[in-house]
Chains A and B, each alone.
Chain A
Amino acid sequence: MKKILIVLLILVAAGVGAGLYLWNKPHEKAEDRQAMAVTAGVLSEAFAGNEQKANAAYLNQVLAVSGTVSEVSRNQDGNTVIVLAGSDPLSGVQCTMREDGVKASVGDKMTIKGFCNGYTLVVLLSDCIVP
């Protein structure tokens, strides 16, 4: 009887532990995943050409995008946003940085790693880091 009770208690504790772990599990980080390397030109052209096909290849993936910085700004919540120039003046890859303090100026060549969230007028990369 006592044994059964102990086993039950352990099971309940394990269940609660697993539940708590799931509930509090941390957000995934770009450095936790292997990145797919691609240039900003190829990536923006893929989305502008056939969005559905590009989504199938890149959406939800961690990408390491290399290109030339065409714009540096801050979004409404104060996060740094770096745009890597695309294949034409209207396109690009917009990277929202995870942390502050990234040094970047227009014209710099950089590689930025982050999660691909799809496409609006530009290709979106979020929670980005400089590897």
Chain B
Amino acid sequence: MNKAAAIVAMLCLTASLGHAQKWMTRTGKVSFFSSTSVENIEAFNNEAASVIDAKSGDVAFIVPIKSFKFDKALMQEHFNENYMESSKYPKAEYKGKITNAADVNFSKDGTYNVKTTGKLTMHGVTKDVPATGTIVVKSGTATIKSKFMVAPADFGIKIPSVSASKIASKIEITVDSVLKEAK
């Protein structure tokens, strides 16, 4: 088991022992959007796992690559086999910290602006990826919303020149995941 997964497992374990400070989901939504003058490509994933420790601000996401669904089967095949090599690297992971966790009141409904610093690992490469977003607390759920840009080239993902005009050099990642308090 690698480091990020171990941390998530640890967070869940402590959550299950009754410290009601952890929020989690196993059906989080993450999508991405690539826009060029030739075409727009988007894909959606409903199988992301995420855990937040409300007290420390630790935040972790595990995103299974094969769970991204495309409109076109052929695109999905190329994404998995040629670009992400998902049989070799089946998941992406984000492990970070909400730097202003004290500003978020998880027991009071509201929209809180947050900033994270953290490391994104995908396609076998780890990079620092800071992000900004909001946590919306509403009737017992905490929804993490964030958008940030990721350059495939930074993660060693090679796009052949024949496809270069169709795939953006920076891809927009959207996180919109509803977490529930772990009991």
Could you tell me which A residues sit within 8 Å of B by CB distance? Answer: 22-28, 51, 55, 59-60, 73, 75-77, 79, 81, 89-90, 94, 96, 115, 117-122, 124, 126
Once A73-B27, A120-B26, A122-B26 are accepted as A-B contacts, the answer to whether A60 and B176 lie under 8 Å apart by CB is no
Give how many B residues have a beta carbon under 8 Å from the other chain's beta carbons: 31
A121 interface neighbour in B9, B72, B76, B87, Cβ under 8 Å = B9
Please list the residues of chain B having a beta carbon within 8 angstroms of any beta carbon in chain A: 1, 5, 8-9, 12-13, 16, 26-29, 44, 46-49, 62, 64-67, 72-74, 76, 87, 90-91, 176-178
Task: Select from chain A the residue with minimum beta-carbon distance to B67.
Answer: A117
Is B87 a contact partner of A94 (Cβ separation < 8 A)?
no
Q: Do residues B64 and A118 form an inter-chain contact, with CB atoms below 8 A? A: yes
Q: How far is the CB of B140 from chain A (nearest CB, A)?
A: 14
Tell whether, in the assembled complex, residue A25 and residue B73 are in contact, meaning their CB atoms are under 8 Å apart: yes
CA gap between A81 and B49 in the complex, in Å? 14
Q: Which A residues touch B74, using CB under 8 A?
A: 22-23, 25
Shortest Cβ distance from B19 into chain A, in angstroms? 15
Query: How close is A115's CB to chain B, nearest CB, in angstroms?
Result: 8
